[in-house]
Structure 1
């Protein structure tokens, strides 16, 4: 990796690998909750461990699967042991729904019921989708396929147009794990820059996780030059990470323009174009190409790695235990194997991943351990030989495909239960591994 540069270029862009002040303050408060939770579970410790829950991508399957897992962690008295909650793709849909509600973990049953009600019985009209698409087109410097996807697809899948701003979560989730939403820099991915693709978004700061270049999240998307904000853009809303007035002639024209531009973006396949806050800056810890373009394209992390590992592998986060909830379709070990390989290239401590014998059905609990400076990784595939009883696993996988647009209430209830079983059946194993990292 390139040498670190740990200094401030301006009050608006932060270059460095340390945690933000807001994140440090949140973690300090959270440690008190974690300590109480450990004591209630009979675990004593001299130093509170940093435990991260990771939710993979997988559309509605991931959204509902993460919700079911978190609800069961709450039921088993383990949710308050968690320091970080991180997600990509469908898991971020769940997170966005949770963090709309201040201190959601203290009233999770009510929050869960509201989410299930919306997914099962809610709807977004074509008119509302069109209005949202037109709003994106008229307000933003850079209209892209992400706007189309958000307004027309995601809103239909989650049955909501969520216009809350990410920074509205600041100070309202003091009793919850610290949230990190993960995307990737498309150009960095195609340029095969090992460290630079990983991009994290929190209520406080957003930026390149491993390169160490961050900006206040309220400025994400605004136009920068040499570290200075030269043109403010409206803050992105939660629907983009995931007007009911009647339409006059001008609005109808805007709608048609937006639709035509949407078709153009589909043909050109342009995702997530945003102003680059590192434009014309000298950032020694990142590849020079990152700061040479006025815009960057951010896209779903699942297109590179379908789990947000690199949002919690910064040295400064000092993660002791990762609970990987894998809702991916296909190979249930692909994410953890890819992470191990990438960490080896980047010289980031990570345990060796020893896979089970080929042609064996996945179980519901795997533990990977490495050197003392590497986190322990618990890996839990959603559908497995324990909660799906062997031959029925393929039926469950087929029923909950990634690109299924909607679930019935029965499907949601069944999936919540399946995900919950992976936690319920392994409570003692979870406690054992938590205890091991507190020593």
Structure 2
């Protein structure tokens, strides 16, 4: 990929709210699915505080050739057909939409196709066939490892293989979905037998989600040099976790009910094309670390496999909201803390011949920073619940309580570029259903 006029920092839109927008200036143009009164679920593009209706835009006849074909694939309630079509059609759509939204002479034609985002419902952007969660945040792995194995926090395989597990696609929901406290088997160390009830150690996890576009055939691994041809874009992802359920169930087969009750994502796909100006080299590995095996090593991935992406977690409680207190930032991290890149995740996932399909979702795992102000979970921030954090209301937290709300945000920024974001990844805790 290369930069083009859609990335021009001087380009502005006649959609006034787009200019200076924290997430959706004209340099972004993320893809999603929306509906509103009288408008069935369909593909759209976020621009400022508005959503451009791709079906209406196609029917106007303003889109030509590949751009028109791309919009036609976004008519339904999921973007899977458009994702599967690959980057050429997405790039054509992006270029023509960027031109239309920046050309004042097109305003009278396009403006009726815009919907106020505040009046719309935003859906999952794709029908997710499979969801895989990785563990590529090395500082999270070290922090959690130290809680249980102080002398040897990283397992021997961590620096050789991108660790992951298959999650549950059916419980992935867009930002704003209620997080109902899950039930599960719980067993404290001093108890002789487990009990069943609501989790007492509900946690968030600060992650990125990678959307798969073009597919690979069963039995055909994806070389690392080609991996990003299969990346459609990114979102934010919160893999809610019941830590006490997890502690009892995860051996010997790993995460299960402690994770699959809900995963929240930001619902807009920030496309691979929009990400281009913010590509950076991943953090260098210590010289003492083993070199990746050849199938996980590529010079292009070494030079631009990372993202200039700052990540933030905010928390509010019911008491804080009732008292008029703003939510509080509890974590500031960065995507550069990924030990394995998105490309390496894709390549390893397919290395045994596994076929990825359009609309599949890959989570990075928790992306903690090396210092406490950037820890990406309460498990780390409170050292397993031993050291509560104090909030502006005077309340303390070891893990999340009913009424608490977590908001993840992310900001891609680079020198000389217009910053872009994802929108919110928000979830509020509701009490468990014990009926």
Q: Which has a greater percent of helix? A: 1
TM > 0.5 between the two? no
Bigger RCO of structures 1 and 2 (CA < 8 A, at least 6 apart) = 1
What TM-score, normalized by structure 1, do the two folds share? 0.26
